[in-house]
Amino acid sequence: MGYTDHRFDVNLSILFTELPLLERPAAAAAAGFKAVELWWPWIETPTPDQAELDALKKALDEAGTQLVGLNFYAGQLPGPDRGALSVPGEESDRFRANIDVAADFAASVGCKALNALYGNRVDGVDPEVQDKLALENLVVAARAADRVGAILLIETLNKPESPRYPLVSAPAGIAVVDKVNEATGLGNAKFLLDIYHLSMNGENVSDVIAEYAGKTGHVQIADNPGRGAPGTGDLPLEELLNQLKNAGYDGWVGLEYKPGDRPSAEAFGWLSN
C-alpha cells in the first residue's frame, strides 16, 4: 500500500490560510481534494449570523468539497486557547451555545464528525471541577452529534506546544472517550488520533494504533519535527497509515500540516511520490 490507498482531506484552518475562508474550498478542489475539514472558523463567536453559515455552505457546495470534520467552538484557536468546554464561566457557556449551531451546520453540509477540544487547565480551579464540567458538556455535545448522525471526537494534543492541556497522551484521550460513552450509552464518542501530536509526546505511535484503532474516529497527520508535509521530518507516515488501514481504519486522514514558505497549493508533492 502507498499513500494512494488512503482518503485524504485538507484542513482549511492550517492550509490555504493565505486565502479568505470562502475561497479555500475551491482552492482545495483545484489541488485535487474532494474533502476538507475545519477548526471552528469564527473564533470570536460561537453563534455567527446565519448568513455567514450559509455563505460557507455555499462555498463548500460550489467547490464540490465535502466537509468531513468540524471543530466545535474552541476559543482563540489559533492562539492561546485549546478549547472551551472545561473552562468554567463564560467560555463553557459559549461552548454550550455553540453545540447546536455547530451540529446543525454539520447536518446542513453532511459532515459526520464533530471535534470537541477539551480546554486548558485554569489557575485557581480544581482540575476535578474542570473535568466534571467537561464531562457534562461532552455529554450534551455527544447527544447533539448523535441527533445529526455524527460522531464526537476527543483529541489529545502535545505537551511541548500545549503545556496546560490535560489530554497529552493517547490513554488520557481514550479515558475521556470511554467516560462519555458510558454516560450517554450512545457509543458515538471516538478518539481523534493525531500522529504528529502523539509523536511530539514521545508515544510509540505504532503501539497506539495497535491498541486503539478500533476506537479511532478520525486521523490527522503532519511530519515531525516541524509539523510540515510528509517527508519533511522523520516520521514513517506511510507505514503508520498502512498499519491503521490494516487494523481496520478506513476513515478520512486529515492533512493538518504547515505548508512552509510556499503557497499551500504547492504543498502536496509528496502525494505523487
- The C-alpha cell 511530519 sits at 223
Q: How far apart are CA 47 and CA 4, in angstroms?
A: 38
In the chain, where do the E strands start and end? 7-11, 35-38, 66-71, 113-115, 151-155, 189-194, 216-221, 252-255
Among 168, 191, 169, smallest CA distance to 251 is for: 191
CB 28 within 8 A of CB 65: yes
Q: How far apart are CA 47 and CA 32, in angstroms?
A: 32
Find the catalytic residue in 37, 91, 203, 256.
Answer: 256
- Read off the C-alpha cell for 264: 499551500
Find the angle CA(195)-CA(196)-CA(201) to the nearest 5 degrees: 100
Among 203, 270, 211, 213, smallest CA distance to 237 is for: 270
**62 carries an active-site annotation:** no
Find the catalytic residue in 37, 91, 155, 203.
Answer: 155
- The C-alpha cell 455527544 sits at 142
**256 carries an active-site annotation:** yes
Catalytic residue IDs: 155, 256
